[in-house]
Amino acid sequence: MSSSEIKTKSPGSWLPGVIISVLVVIALYFLVDWKEFNEAFKAIRPWVVVVTIFLTLIPLMTRSLAWRSLLNQEISLRDAFFGENIGYMANNFLPLRLGEIARAVLIGDKVEGGFAAVLPSIFLERLIDLGFAALTLLIAIPFVVSETWMLPTVFVSLSIVVFGIVFLYLSFRKAEWLETLFTKLFSRFPKMQEAILRLFHQFIEGLKSAAQGNNAIRAVFFLGLTWAFYWITYYVLILSIVPNAPFIWALFTDGVVSMGIAIPSAPGSLGVWEASFVAALAVFGIEQSKSLAIALVSHIVSYAITGIFGIIGFSVFGSSLGSLIRRVRQQRQKSTETIPGE
């Protein structure tokens, strides 16, 4: 297969995200007092970094337990953990959140039904995440009354969650109706129709696996723990610069950062992560230099941990980043081949 056959989509699909990241970094450059930032960064105590590392590791484990539950325990905890970290690591290098596709491709080798059977679990995981993000902001905003500008974002997120829940309900209860709808919608494109119906059937099977027993309840529980540790992590970081800060600041910051990194950006949410952190703490009057310092600590720790476990994961799966990227491109090409005009 030639390189032209496996190349990614045109820059038009990922360039806007890169432009957003560049603009955000430029804005931070002019907003932040870099002398004060340097002093603030050097003033961060080693225990803050150590605790942040520890508190970052725990959510990775609880998230892996949640994903394993959504996959009906078909994979080991080890595979779920390293698969998650490989996905995060890939997101740090690939545009368009392709790390999600990467872990679906990788874990698809170990699940009956393959790649398409794994996708529903990732969809459900992200849908639950979005629900927790919106809930986090809903809890925090009443304590930050003046920040009504956040409400539209919360309502949009909740709307997406509601739409996802409705789609899940229809998939469970009205699968035949949805199948008929898809058949009619894509009747003029036989190849696309065939591919979508095949994916829909595999999606339904994946949902059935996630719904067996208490899998969904366990997943929500473990993802709830994951978010609780996110809040604690942010609180520890905030306390390192504002010793008397209330816990609600951590919830508000986590919610803003979660919504911020959801917008298109360069791989790894470069710049957007930091800017969201700075913007959230600016609401409480925290200097940009100090908030940027702890934002960088959290981002660097996240990069380092997922990178280390991602590299170990490649060894566990007997794969490599290069081979995984090729498989992701092949999977995307397989999907786009069913779309007329591409």
Of 140 and 241, the one with more pLDDT: 241
**Is residue 2 over pLDDT 50?**
no
**Is residue 259 over pLDDT 90?**
no
DSSP state letters, 187-234? TT-HHHHHHHHHHHHHHHHHHHHHHSTTHHHHHHHHHHHHHHHHHHHH
Give the pLDDT confidence score for residue 340 in this predicted structure.
47
Closest CA to 114 of 290, 334, 287: 334
Give the pLDDT confidence score for residue 199 in this predicted structure.
77
Of 334 and 72, the one with more pLDDT: 72
Each residue's pLDDT tens digit, 295-337: 999 999 999 999 999 999 999 999 998 899 888 888 777 665 5
**Is residue 101 over pLDDT 80?**
yes
Q: At 7, is the pLDDT very low, low, confident or very high (cuts 50, 70, 90)? A: very low
Write the CB contacts of 168 (distance below 8 Å, at least 6 apart in sequence). 124, 127, 207
Phi-psi region of 75 (alpha: psi -120 to 50; beta: other; left: phi over 0): beta
Q: At 17, is the pLDDT very low, low, confident or very high (cuts 50, 70, 90)? A: confident
Average pLDDT over residues 130-152: 77
For 103, other C-beta atoms within 10 Å of its C-beta total 28
Cα angle, residue 107 at apex, residues 165 and 109 outer, rounded to 5°: 125
Average pLDDT over residues 185-211: 81
Average pLDDT over residues 157-183: 83
Each residue's pLDDT tens digit, 19-28: 999 999 999 9
**Is residue 13 over pLDDT 70?**
no
Whole-number percent of the chain with pLDDT over 90: 51
CA 1 centroid distance within chain? 31
Each residue's pLDDT tens digit, 103-119: 999 999 898 878 878 88
Give the pLDDT confidence score for residue 9 in this predicted structure.
52
Give the pLDDT confidence score for residue 139 in this predicted structure.
85
Give the pLDDT confidence score for residue 223 in this predicted structure.
96
Q: At 8, is the pLDDT very low, low, confident or very high (cuts 50, 70, 90)? A: very low
